Amino acid sequence: MRRPGDHGTIPVRGIRDTYTEAHTVLDEPAGVGVDYADVVQVLEDEGVTKFDESREELAGKLTAALNGPASGRTER
């Protein structure tokens, strides 16, 4: 393969070059009545809840497996 430089130029944009565009995109939902901060908070809260539920389910299964008949342990 030839180097990309042999076929043209590769545009390089730094993150700072897109700040204005990013702010415009993030402000657009407010124009139709959507509170971006509220959306982010709801998604975060739901994500944490789902993670906690999954963690609790996994912990229960691991505890049952570790304390089950195959473990050789007896209930006290």
Query: What is the Rg, in whole angstroms, of the alpha carbon atoms belonging to the chain?
Result: 26
pLDDT (tens digit per residue) in 21-46: 999 999 999 999 999 999 999 999 99
Instruction: Give the global pTM.
Output: 0.57
Residue 59 confidence (pLDDT) above 90: yes
Neighbours of 13 (CB within 10 A): 8
Place of tokens 């944490």: 48
DSSP the chain: ---GGGT-------GGGGHHHHHHHHHGGGGGT--HHHHHHHHHHHHHHHHHHHHHHHHHHHHHHHHSGGGT----
pLDDT (tens digit per residue) in 2-16: 676 677 777 777 888
Which amino acid type is present at position 36? Y
